[in-house]
Amino acid sequence: MAKTTDALTRRDVLLGAGAVTAALGTVTLGASTAEAAVEKWDHEADIVIVGSGVGGCTAAVTAHEQGDSVVVLEKAPFVGGTSKKSAGVLWIPNNYTLRAKGIDDKKEECLQYLARYSYPERYVAGQPNLGLAALEYALLEVFYDNASKAVDRLRELGALRTAEWRMFALDRSATDYLDHVPENKVPTGRALGPVSAEGQMGLGVELMTQLGDAVEKRKIPVLLQHEAARLVVNAAGRVVGIEATSADKKVTIRARKGVIFASGGFAHNREYADTYLRHRYYGSCAMPSATGDFVRIAGAIGARLGNMTGTWGTQIVLEDALRNHVLPTGVFFPPGDSMLQVNRHGRRVVNEKRNYNDRTEAHGYFDPSDAEYPNELMFMVYDQRTAEGFAGAYPLPPTPTGAKYVLQADTLDALADKLAARLKDIATRTGNFSLSPAFLANLKTSIARFNGFARAGRDDDFSRGAAGYDREWQMVFSPMNAASKYAAEKAPNSTMFPLSDTGPYYAVMLAAGSLDSCGGPVIDASARVLDGSDKPIAGLFGAGNCIASPSRFAYYGAGHTLGQSLTFGYIAANAAHAEPSSKA
């Protein structure tokens, strides 16, 4: 096969390169393109950014202000990504509001919290890197070192107005998602939020409107409906640009210093979910464009993948997810006090008030004796007190039966029958998930046991209400309606109240869902994407849900994903700025 002629045309070379590219995965797989094969560049910038969520916009503004020219690609027809759908909170350790209050969120102590939460099975205080691998530790350290700086820089540039994010109903500092471990020395106050010009705390729309405006004001081109297709690589293996697809046309963008991916995860890529996640996620709040493009695109040039089993979890309403895998919201905090969740055996399996990310893991439990996932669906069961007293706190409708996904019955027996019937209706969508024969009897036992815990104020099985998180976030997400006739009746543990001995009773079917995945190409402490030998791939950077999360599976507090994305977007822009230009 080897060609024997010594005289070849340029076309032969290009075909040769193309053939090798094809052999290495074919164009449809997102293999890279050789720089020599690019006939013309449609756009050119020092730094090209993929994704216009909080990570991408932070990187864009940061880069621009350092004198780098920037182009942003966005797959969707508008700016903001999943960040725009979010609550807009930013988890930033050692932030300026803490400092202003004289609270010293010390690096050494904060890193213990981060390491303990992210690597519980390897964290050892006093050991080198706290027991973590060098890269794992370095990523936590650089997050701590840059998070606060990044926000301060955006504020200084007038790109973002923030304030301490106060837990609304309480008007208290936000409590971290693992506040009750001894390693957390500053368990409240690390959350910031975006405020309007009038000083009003906003959500993701506010956050991304401000950051989007900052990008626009700087005249940074944002190419909407441009989907990243593959990287352009020069003969030395450096990333020098990117090919995108827009309206079925190929668009090439040269990146003289580097390409920063700050795009979505793979929550809506069914194949990746089957491959990388251990159990079933029925839906995700991520934007529909979160199809894991970066896994494919960076994988094609040898990026090392990490953390691939990870998602930012949340429980979701099953029946909504069956209608549409893309969900507007999740069950971030199951409302109510006279409420519990049980599995197909009618048994409680989790602290219902734990944070969404950790709580959702309970759905993945595999029962070795029956070789099945008995918690795949869970049933949130509650009484009239919760239905009325906490009405309107999602997923409770404003009136007790104001949503089709709410089942109501006069007795527990009748409720179990209704659940069984509803499950039968959707059996082909759930692998015939059904109530076990012991469901009803166990449900009654579970309620009796729960009621005992509620009266005693202590949950001996799952520690519900023991952590500050459980109690305080309940007041944020589902305070008792003040006008309710039930408000006067209190129990010693605010998160638990005995279920009534008489109906009506209610049930909502819940499943595992996600905000997005959190696995992908692995970055180093400069946000450079690493290859399989842990060497940086020159010219390629990453931040946000598209990369292997620097915090692994841990969700440190409200605003975790946005804070991490913003910080690594900032780090990436700084690192790309320092790169020499690749332009010949």
User: Of 526-565, which residues contact a copy of itself (CB under 8 A)?
Assistant: 531-533, 548, 554
The residue within the footprint of a copy of itself, chosen from 302, 397, 400, 503 (CB under 8 A), is: 302
User: Which three-class secondary structure string do you get for 321-337?
Assistant: HHHCCECCCCECCCCCC
Rounded CA gap, 179 and 183, in Å? 9
> Which residue, among 35, 11, 1, 42, has the nearest Cα to 21 in the 3D structure?
35
Residue 181, phi then psi, degrees to nearest 5: -95, 150
Chain centre distance of CA 159: 23
457 binds a copy of itself (CB under 8 A): no
Instruction: Please give the backbone phi and psi of residue 506, each rounded to the nearest 5 degrees, phi first.
Output: -130, 155
171-200 binders of a copy of itself (CB under 8 A): 178, 181
Q: Give min distance, CB of 171 to a copy of itself, in A.
A: 27
> Least separation, in Å, of the C-beta of 236 and a copy of itself?
8
Give how many residues touch a copy of itself by CB under 8 A.
106
Mask 116-155, x = binds a copy of itself (CB under 8 A)? -x-xxxxxxx-x---x------------------------
CB nearer to a copy of itself: give 226 or 359. Answer: 359
The residue within the footprint of a copy of itself, chosen from 262, 467, 510, 529 (CB under 8 A), is: 467
Residue 43: CB minimum distance to a copy of itself, A: 17
What does the DSSP 8-state code read for residue 544?
A: G
Kindly calculate the radius of gyration of the chain based on its CA atoms and give it in whole angstroms: 25
| CB closer to a copy of itself out of 415 and 522 | 522
Q: Name residues contacting a copy of itself, limited to 226-265 (CB under 8 A).
A: 233-237, 240
- Quick one: 207 or 558, whose CB is closer to a copy of itself? 558
Q: Which is nearer to a copy of itself, 522 or 525 (CB)?
A: 522
448 contributes a contact to a copy of itself by CB under 8 A: no
**Shortest Cβ 355–a copy of itself spacing (Å):** 8
Q: Which of 156, 216, 217, 366 binds a copy of itself (CB under 8 A)?
A: 366
Q: Where are the alpha helices (DSSP H) in 233-379?
A: 270-276, 293-299, 318-323, 356-360
Q: Rounded to whole angstroms, how far apart are CA atoms 262 and 565?
A: 8
CB 274 within 8 A of CB 4: no
Q: Least distance in Å: CB of 291 to a copy of itself?
A: 12
Determine the distance from the C-alpha atom of residue 170 to the mean position of all C-alpha atoms in its chain, rounded to a whole number. 25
Q: Choose, by CB under 8 A, the member of 57, 277, 415, 510 that binds a copy of itself.
A: 277
Q: Does 275 bind a copy of itself (CB under 8 A)?
A: yes
Amino acid at 187: P
Smaller CB separation from a copy of itself, 119 or 143? 119
What minimum distance in Å lies between the beta carbon of 187 and a copy of itself?
13
Give CA–CA dist 295/134, Å, rounded: 23
User: What is the smallest separation between the CB atom of 87 and a copy of itself, expressed in angstroms?
Assistant: 20
Task: Provide the minimum distance between the beta carbon of 135 and a copy of itself in the complex, in angstroms, as a whole number.
Answer: 10
3-state secondary structure 239-256: EEEEEEEECCEEEEEEEE
C-alpha of 460 from chain center: 31
Binding of a copy of itself at residue 301 (CB under 8 A)?
yes
Q: Rounded to a whole number, what is the distance in angstroms from the first to the last CA of the chain? A: 34
Please identify, using beta-carbon distances, which residue of 111 and 554 lies nearer to a copy of itself: 554
Please tell me whether residue 489 binds a copy of itself under the rule CB under 8 A.
no
Residue with Cβ nearer a copy of itself (374 or 569): 374
Q: Which residue, 143, 134, 137, is CA-closest to 105?
A: 143
Closest CA to 38 of 233, 224, 178: 233
- CA torsion sign for 398, 399, 400, 406 is negative
Q: Which two tokens stand for residue 36?
A: 């020599």
CB of 152 to a copy of itself, least distance (A): 30
The DSSP call for residue 380 is E
96 contacts a copy of itself (rule: CB under 8 A): no
Contact characters 24-53, a copy of itself, x per CB under 8 A: xxx-xxxxx-xxxxxx--------------
Pick 35 or 65: Cβ nearer a copy of itself: 35
Classify residue 32 by burial, with Cβ atoms within 10 Å: 0-12, 13-18, 19+.
Answer: buried
Q: Which of residues 417-436 bind a copy of itself (CB under 8 A)?
A: 427-428, 430-433
Region class of 51: left (phi > 0), else alpha (psi between -120 and 50), else beta: left
| Residue 110 near a copy of itself by CB under 8 A | no
Q: Report, in Å, the least distance between residue 517 CB and a copy of itself.
A: 13
Query: Could you say whether residue 325 binds a copy of itself (CB under 8 A)?
Result: no
- Give the residue with the Cβ less far from a copy of itself, 253 or 350: 350
One character per residue 372-411, x = contact with a copy of itself (rule: CB under 8 A): xx--x-----------------------------------
> Phi, psi (5° rounding) for residue 297?
-70, -45
Reported as type and span, the H/E element at residue 416 is helix 412-425
Is 309 a binding residue for a copy of itself by CB under 8 A? The answer is: yes
**Residue 77 lies near a copy of itself (rule: CB under 8 A):** no
Q: Strands 90-91 and 191-194, how do they pair?
A: antiparallel
